[in-house]
Structure 1
């Protein structure tokens, strides 16, 4: 099969779209429910192509997310690196799970992500835990099947390898 010229940009464009969705302004009631778009996209690409999307890509994406959100540099980078490392270390096993089992696992990894971000922000600043911090875990889990299907269709359509 011949790769299309656009295939080398699909991964980076999807990460860029995820970053834009992550910082897009929303009403306060919807902002609490915002899924972790970056985790969804990086998670898919790590499971699909672990040799192309790895901890380095997650760290770079996390640094960009830190800059966009105005947080202390390195918080999201470390948290995304931990999540992507967990996925990359077990990708062969996780590929065999059904989409719903993967959604539950992505939910656990999103909870780990939020735990690491909260823990680092609590150490560096002086914030306290609010239960609303966990709503994105639920919505990330619910959005996994759709993001999985959309990104798989893009990967097959553009023959990304």
Structure 2
């Protein structure tokens, strides 16, 4: 039942995004780690907005808060704010070329990262460093490939 409805493959993609977020990588590449949770959520928000909404985004944000050890709710708030324009304009974004989508994804992830930084700064006196914004660039670069992989995955497992 879960596989037929596409729920299990959808949950697996969320789990994989969370694992990639905390998976160890060489310290030289750590500042460049793409924002996997945001990328996967943005894809599903654009592809199947009738199944993935603010509830999913909120749960993924809270799980990210737990995994990252941040103040509870920071990532959840930032992801919900990031998701709003994607959900509001999903039909328009869906019809853009991959290059145009790449720019939109970069702006949305930049917005999310700025919100997370501001909340961390206010609550925990976080200090800004330029490498904090590197994931915006790496996420934008990865978006076309991730889009194509997840589209094939969605079609393969009939996620609708």
Q: What TM-score do you get using the length of structure 2 for normalisation? A: 0.96
Instruction: Give the equivalent residue in structure 1 for 2:92.
Output: 93
CA distance in 2, matches of 1:9, 1:111: 30
- TM-superposed deviation, 1:54: 1.0
SS in 1 for 2:144: helix
> Are 1:139 and 2:138 matched, yes or no?
yes
Structure 1 position 5, deviation (Å): 2.4
Which whole-Å deviations, capped at 9, do the CAs of 1:74-115 have from their partners, x for residues lacking one?
000001111111100110111110011101110001100100
Secondary structure, aligned partner of 1:53 = coil
- How big is the alpha-carbon RMSD for the aligned residues of Structure 1 and Structure 2? 1.3
User: CA separation in 2, counterparts of 1:56 and 1:18?
Assistant: 17
Q: CA deviation at 1:7?
A: 2.0
Instruction: Give the conservation status (yes or no) of the 8 Å contact 1:54–1:85.
Output: no
TM-score, length-scaled by structure 1: 0.95
CA distance in 2, matches of 1:124, 1:98: 39
CA contact (8 A) 1:40 1:140 kept: yes
CA–CA separation in structure 1 for the residues paired with 2:16 and 2:122: 31
Aligned ranges 1:1-161 → 2 under 5 Å:
5=4, 7-161=6-160
How far is the alpha carbon of 1:6 from its aligned partner? 6.7
Aligned length: 159
Query: Runs of 5+ in structure 1 lacking a partner?
Result: none
